[in-house]
Amino acid sequence: MQIGLIGLGKMGIHLAQNMLRNDNDVVAFDLNKDAVKEAGSYGAQTAFTLDEMVEKLATPRTIWVMVPAGKPTDATMEQLAAKLSADDVVIDGGNTFWKDSLKHNRMLTEKGIHYFDCGSSGGWCGALEGGNFMIGGDDKDVFERIRPLFEGISQKDGYLYTGKAGSGHYLKMVHNGVEYGMMEAIGEGFEVLEASDFNYDNAAVAKLWNHGSVIRSWLMELAEDAFEKDPHLDKIQGRMHSSGEAHWTIADAMDHSVPTPVIYEALCARFKSMQEDTFDGKVVAALRNGFGGHAVDKK
């Protein structure tokens, strides 16, 4: 399958390799020319302008957008609406706010272009080795055209067509809210251990808990990795940055009168961590760095 890929950051460049490994013909574009050249070294066709990428794709085109949410995605969608043809497909694989996804869907649909909002989970490791994808879009028949792409780049049972446009990014929003709560619980647990009268080996505890316990998870595996490198996380500050999804989840939950105290408290803990250094914050910061390459504040 031929795919145009826009955005070759830490997620996009790994996704390009995954697509290529699964026998897709990737035409790769990014404003960063070095990133385009790197994609070319893996076997992708290179495009140094958006027009060049569009010209290299056979119709009907399929284009995957993997750029930061907000203005970069908005601008990309506007350009694609102007440059693409009816029956082309656009997949937004970023963390776009679901209401913005609805706007993009309306804009592209007016031009006869099919839009799919795709929540992507698994971090850069999943993008490379097999990710988890939540895909919304108004035309299920058109989704069948791109299903083989997701079958190749996903984990087994790792993709789902979720229904109408907006539903994919909405599901990813809630997923990230759940993720906030899980990471906060892990961070608080290790902070209790760190403050206790006992001398625990944090890496050994994380490894133990990840072998047969009820709380085993990839997050616990990432905790083990972080503690092996820095047993008490002395090298980083306990600042937990946030990217907005938990806030969106809480706001939407309030609109539906659904209480979400765990997600709310997890978000408040992140805000508090920007004011004071906590061990809980160090753990969560290390986990975010582990799965998504998110920046940590070093000491």
Residues involved in catalysis: 172
Distance of CA 135 to the CA centre of its chain: 13
CB atoms within 10 A of CB 285: 27
Closest CA to 64 of 100, 18, 110: 18
Closest CA to 222 of 190, 267, 177, 270: 190
Ordered DSSP codes for 223-271: HHHHHHHSTT-TTB-------SHHHHHHHHHHHTT---HHHHHHHHHHH
Question: Which H helix or E strand runs over 162?
Answer: strand 154-163
Sheet of 45-47: strand order equals 45-47, 25-29, 2-6, 62-65, 89-92, 114-121, 131-137, 154-163
Please report which residue ranges of the chain form alpha helices under DSSP H.
12-21, 33-41, 50-56, 71-83, 98-109, 123-129, 140-153, 167-195, 202-209, 218-229, 245-255, 261-273, 279-292
Whole-angstrom Cα distance, residue 83 to residue 77?
A: 10
- Cis status of the peptide bond prior to 259, with omega within 30 of 0: no
CB atoms within 10 A of CB 107: 16
List the structure tokens of 299: 């000491």
